Amino acid sequence: MVVAAAREIHDREVVFVGMRLPLLGFGLARATHAPNAVGLFENGVIRDRPAEAFIYTMGDPPNITGAIACLGLLDVMSLLQQGRVDVGFIGGAEIDPLGNLNTTRTSGSGSLVRLPGSGGGCDIASLAGRTVLIMEHEPRRFRPHVDYITSPGHFP
């Protein structure tokens, strides 16, 4: 998945990165074919290269040190609203054939399970030039209809 994520990033693109696998994909893309890609993080950090040390959260000191800018949530979300983000990475619990994504709640096991929610996912799915979903490829995650639409896909 990291290699596939990296291939979605083109040189000179502005990328809403996020954490875990998208972060690795961003680093691989910069190292191989997109040396001028710029990464945005939801907490306001803007980087023109991956952090030099491993980070566990967006706000870890290695992610702040060497950043182009450390703004705020509203600043980076406004870049989405201005149409200045080329690609955004998001994760999810369920997806349907239209690309609707659920990160809010499921009831597949008979009881209601609450999930982390949208975070910035709905904004990214709605406003980024392209959206790339990274999630585990388990049959239960691919549904004819998601239990709840947190982030909209493409309507017919």
Q: Of 76, 32, 68, 77, which is closest to residue 49 (Cα–Cα)?
A: 68
List the Cα angle 82/17/40 in 5-degree steps.
50
> Could you give the C-alpha distances from 56 to 33, 51, 116, in angstroms and in order?
25, 11, 17
Residues 85 and 70: their CA atoms lie apart, in Å, by: 17
Active-site annotation, residues? 42
Determine contact, residues 5/25, Cβ cutoff 8 Å. Answer: yes
CA atoms within 13 A on the CB side of 115: 20
Characterize 29-42 residue by residue with b for buried, 16 or more Cβ atoms within 10 angstroms of its Cβ, and e for exposed: bbeeebeebbbbbb
The three-class DSSP label of residue 82 is coil
